[in-house]
Structure 1
């Protein structure tokens, strides 16, 4: 084995080892990060289902509380007047209120009146036989610590899960003494579960749990294993997330009944989009490392083929000495008249220019860094310059704005391309100045569309208010251009608030971008808005309603989401002192909009 082969071997093996170590380390970091994001997303969806179910229970509680505080109900519990039943407990009442069961119980535990209703057959039937034993005077269901107390939750009636609320029967002024208790219930039927799935836009299943241990052993092995894991969890409301396949992830949560015993197992199945994105990132990482290794090894081979190692070693030592001393006035000496001596002369010439090149390189490096900062947010640019990679981040609350110039196509038909681009550049430059003043992150422009977000890459509490100020200021800027240019320029704006994943992917032409359903909804808000209007979703409305004037537009059809309730943003409320734009400009001594030339 000659010196060339030895040098090649000693060069290639460490590079391959380093590549394997780097790939393994970064791959593990990426896998853990995406796995954590995937689990967090699944747990959030489980909690979302739980919250929707809690909302249904709160609605039933409000209905029961309202009925229990009627003076008519207070009188009925003693008189048993049939007119009360006839006027209040008709089929229409049960169907409109979505009730399956009503029971009036006096303080002695006697059921004054009780009935159940089947929506499919549209017929009344007696109370299930296993309900009265739960309404005796000693039952927890009819025991109240004080007049404002109530009981709500799941119970098993006739072998089926039911949402139940029990309220003490009081006078209309909420005074006692209580004359008994009112129970209202609604079965958790397959139709209710299907409605829950539609409202949460999730693939979910509800598995009732058997009451006896013998029946529990008849459950599939998969469910028995999941139940065992959940019961061992220290968390009072435990969740379990398990991959089902490369494409599906399942999350599980136990639902207890009103007595604290587990009665149902909630299962939510989700597509593994985050896992898939992690695999794509790992592939990019592997190919990038392999390409770097091959390029570097090839360069080493090319150099070794063109040199004589002994003379090169002397030349290398002289160059190393100059490098260590950092004295560019020194020169190398290479005897002979061949290529190596010529190389020595070139090195000497290069040493004379190195000082100048160093200064130029420093200036160019500053320009390159500044250019990168103009393209990417400062934290992301710094991460890319240090590690050559950026891991996407998850943000729980971000507000996104999409804006589009109305009638841009007609403008392009009437104006020259140069004038049209110049006008668009002036408008977008003014928007950029607004975004900088408000501390927003401009994401990108596509044609005549403009996208900006607040709350990332550094989270901020007033992200929705900052975007609202941006939208209102954009309307003023557009109106100013319309007045100055005489062109019919109008802008259409859509805003949404929600969860996103943001970051830089790929290895060429970096761009900081956002992904998630919240981005799609924001885009739909812009496309379904009207010229000169700012349309916001209900999520954004909840964050702006205290400081801004918003007008309800109503429910509109949104592609991919069905009917959504939206609002028009009109301006500030007269009693609100909040104004992020004025706060930002106050630091520079001005409260005016950016000057447009």
Structure 2
């Protein structure tokens, strides 16, 4: 690595480290501040939902007062106004007030009038049994100690929560004595939750406490909120976009009844991340500018002179002229280095002259002992390389139609076109992990399963053949010429290696190679012919057609098959995007 590169790397590393430290520090500081703001905002939103729910109950209490402090109700409580229910407690009133239950009780907690109301069907139904069970003397819901008394809250009826409000039955002037209790109930159903969500502009859910405790995730939160030292709210970030706030809603008896979940977008968190991003970008920009300034100054006063000195030394080495010297200018360390180099060059020059004399003597001595070719061989030994492979798939391909095309194209154009096609094939071979063996004219040889064995060698060659076929088809369409490819494939035992001492080539030997070549030469243009051994490896995943017995030179008749394509349900382990476009970049 050059000094300039090292300097750049060092400065870059320092700047990146500095920015990293600043980012970590600012992330901790700003992240903590924004997290605290987000937590407070979430707590406020959970509290807003609770207050909205209590306001809902208060509105219900106002409706109760309209009925409870009324002479008609006061008279009906002692049987003096029998037509009161038919006139005042009708379905339209229930629907308008969004009421699900109404009850009038005397001072002994006996029901004077009571009915439920199904708001979906807008029909009267029976009072919920769980609510009736609350109608007993001493229960704050139906027992009021004075005219100012009222009871409001939530009651769980099995898996449903109902909002309740009750007040003593009084005259229109609000005086007594009380003649009983007037009670209204409203289920906390989907409509009411949606209304609360609309009012608070928050996405929220209510879970009965029993249901929450049965859920693995919610039970941890519910138990934590019920602990003796628990905080009133629990905050759980979900991801970068959503945060959940949880709180408990207590019933009439001040017991946990509902688990409230408020789903809030993490706008504060995102703003914090955005602010941190802009801050880091600003710091990075300043750091880059600072680094560039340092590099310019170093380049001018140090690196340029060092580079020039290095180039002069390299020139001396390239020209192999030890008589040359480097320039010495200035009075600093670089000038001292140049002076030292010149002194060293003088010593090397003297030594080189002495070495040349001795080397010439040694060469004359060696040539007096051995002939020149043998002497050269002793200097560099080359051993033959040969490896045995039990199962390799070989592909031979020949482009048919290039001979007529050569009459239309010049030699250079033809070679460029052939280079384009073979470059495409080379790209496929590289993508599929195949070993290109050689090209001879317009023929192409490639193999799979060597030099490293692989189980899917036949599939890889099949994918190669199909891709080559598609590429030549595109070439035919582009040139509007009858150019096709003839491909032959065989699987078997081969020996592969390097022999000779010059112009090394990695090559294959064996009968399997000859059969693969015969598969190509005996095939048909535009087709892929494979042997039975290859067929057995491909038949489960590829579409093949039996060609029949084919006379093969030196082998007699052999069963061969046409490879037509891959089966639809097959997901090939290796596949390339076919087409010449893959090599046009």
Tell me the TM-score normalized by structure 2: 0.48
TM-score with structure 1 setting the length: 0.47
Greater gyration radius = 2
